[in-house]
Structure 1
Amino acid sequence: MKKIIVVDDDIHILELLYIHLSEQGYIVFKARDGISALEILHKENCHIAIVDVMMPFMDGYELTKVIRQQFNIPVILLTAKSQIDDKEKGFQAGTDDYVVKPFEPKELSYRIKALLRRYDNVTEESIIRMGSTTINRKSYEVQIDDRIFLLPLKEFELLYFLMANPKQVFSRDHLIEQIWGIDYEGDERTVDVHIKRLRERFTQLTDDFQIKTIRGIGYSLEEKRS
């Protein structure tokens, strides 16, 4: 049974969502601020978070950033704000979806189901192996033989994406869109810097794979064939 945490300082919204989602078979936890929400998340294995933006102590943007760093679950931001700048800030914080108040509970339910399906599919395909190298998207670990490495988030996501699509050539723009998102305001050099760091980390550790520069286009990861 899926567990959902709803975080909102409006008690009426909390009760509305608690009743609606409980009737659909979810186990629902309620929190009125980000601090309380994190306490629950550390105790309960929640599958998705519904987070209000305007809250005391820790707003929804900051809570979303912490959830993205510490828990592998989707986040839906729930807010009265509808300006494009607010939405951009939400997606930059790491939210998966954005619902503006007032909203139809049924619409929120559809979005919850869609995100849960997407994350379930990711979990099923979360481990990739190349020779003695294993990359686990669920634990965010890279293991080479008996050594385990924890990478910065974007380095991990970039390596995972390339390993999941070996021999395919990707432009820098495509990699930015996949890893940093379409709203990212940086430039192509970000990709070059992260590729350089990955090469520095792994070139001397393994020859299971190699990240090649495709001149004039971008990058491709190739698996060593024994």
Structure 2
Amino acid sequence: MNTILIIEDDLAINDLIKTTLEKNDYHCTQAFSGTEGLLNIKTATYDLIILDLMLPGLTGEEFIEKLLEIADIPILVASGKDSIDSRIACLNLGADDYLIKPFDINELKAQVNALIRRTRKNPVSDRLGYKEFILHRELFDLEINGQLLHLTKQEYKIIKLLMENPGKVFLKQEIYEYAWEDYYMGEDKTINVHISNIRRKVKPFTDHELIETVWGIGFKLKK
């Protein structure tokens, strides 16, 4: 049974979505703030998130940013914000689809079904997310705000290692032996050149750095 997390502060709307989807064989968990939604993410696994934007405390947009740091779960935004700018901003942040309130409940069901089908064809495990960065495991591509960058094998493996272990500092030896599958001979130039190439590729598409240098030690993801 597919599991869905509903993050909506309006009790009536939250209950309506839950009741409707459970009649269609989905298991639903309810949350009423972005903070509560994040707590649920840390304690359970979900196939889809239905997300309001105007939430108490942590907004929907802030929730999306924080979610990408800890998990890769499809997001259907359901919001009263109906401007093109709001929709584009959410999709660029990492949302998968956008539904404008007030919505027809049958349209909601159709979009939920479509996202679940899409996820089955393109499993979540094929993507790894961190902030606005999405690493496509099978394509050797890094997606930044909707733009796809092709990576070399070593660039891909360096990013994959760091994104799978956010917050961890890796020694140059560890990075080299993982990405090149060879013994490290103390040669810093090769790693430094590849890190520089990654930064150069990323820079035109975001103000955020992806990789941080920890001087005298190695590298980690930039917070």
Fold conserved (TM > 0.5)? yes
Q: Displacement of 1:38 after TM fit?
A: 1.2
Work out which of the residue numbers 202, 206, 211 in structure 1 matches 2:180.
206
Alignment partner of 1:156 is 2:113: no
1:60-98 deviation digits (Å, cap 9, x = unpaired): 111112222322210011111111111111112210000
For the residue of structure 2 that corresponds to 1:58, the secondary structure is: coil
1:149-200 deviation digits (Å, cap 9, x = unpaired): x99984733x6423xxxxxxxxxxxx7xx82355x6xxxxx948x6698189
Q: 2:62 and 2:40 mapped to 1: Cα distance?
A: 16
Residues 197 and 28 (structure 1), Cα distance of their counterparts in 2 relative to 1, 3 Å cut:
same
Counterpart residue number, 1:101:
101
On the 8 A contact 2:35/2:57 being kept in 1, the answer is yes
Counterpart residue number, 1:12:
12
Q: 1:109 and 1:54 mapped to 2: Cα distance?
A: 22
Q: 1:87 and 1:54 mapped to 2: Cα distance?
A: 13
Superposition pairs of residues 80-95 of structure 1, within 5 angstroms: 80-95=80-95
Alignment partner of 1:112 is 2:86: no
> Please, what TM-score do these two structures have when normalized by structure 1?
0.62
For the residue of structure 1 that corresponds to 2:4, the secondary structure is: strand
On the 8 A contact 2:78/2:98 being kept in 1, the answer is yes
Q: 1:79 and 1:151 mapped to 2: Cα distance?
A: 24
Q: 1:36 and 1:87 mapped to 2: Cα distance?
A: 23
Counterpart residue number, 1:179:
143
| RMSD of Structure 2 on Structure 1 (CA) | 3.4
On the 8 A contact 2:69/2:131 being kept in 1, the answer is no
Counterpart residue number, 1:121:
121
On the 8 A contact 1:62/1:93 being kept in 2, the answer is no
Q: 2:11 and 2:24 mapped to 1: Cα distance?
A: 20
Q: For residue 3 of structure 1, what is the amino acid of its counterpart? A: T
1:3-26 deviation digits (Å, cap 9, x = unpaired): 111111111111111111111111
Q: Which runs of 5+ in 1 are unaligned?
A: 127-136, 141-149, 163-174, 185-189, 209-226
Q: 1:16 and 1:79 mapped to 2: Cα distance?
A: 15
Q: 2:22 and 2:114 mapped to 1: Cα distance?
A: 18
Q: 1:45 and 1:200 mapped to 2: Cα distance?
A: 26
Q: For residue 96 of structure 1, what is the amino acid of its counterpart? A: D
Q: 1:151 and 1:206 mapped to 2: Cα distance?
A: 23
For the residue of structure 2 that corresponds to 1:156, the secondary structure is: strand
1:92-116 deviation digits (Å, cap 9, x = unpaired): 2210000000101111111111111
On the 8 A contact 1:4/1:28 being kept in 2, the answer is yes
Q: 2:83 and 2:45 mapped to 1: Cα distance?
A: 33
Counterpart residue number, 1:48:
48
For the residue of structure 1 that corresponds to 2:67, the secondary structure is: helix
Q: 2:20 and 2:56 mapped to 1: Cα distance?
A: 25
For the residue of structure 1 that corresponds to 2:61, the secondary structure is: helix
Q: 2:3 and 2:143 mapped to 1: Cα distance?
A: 27
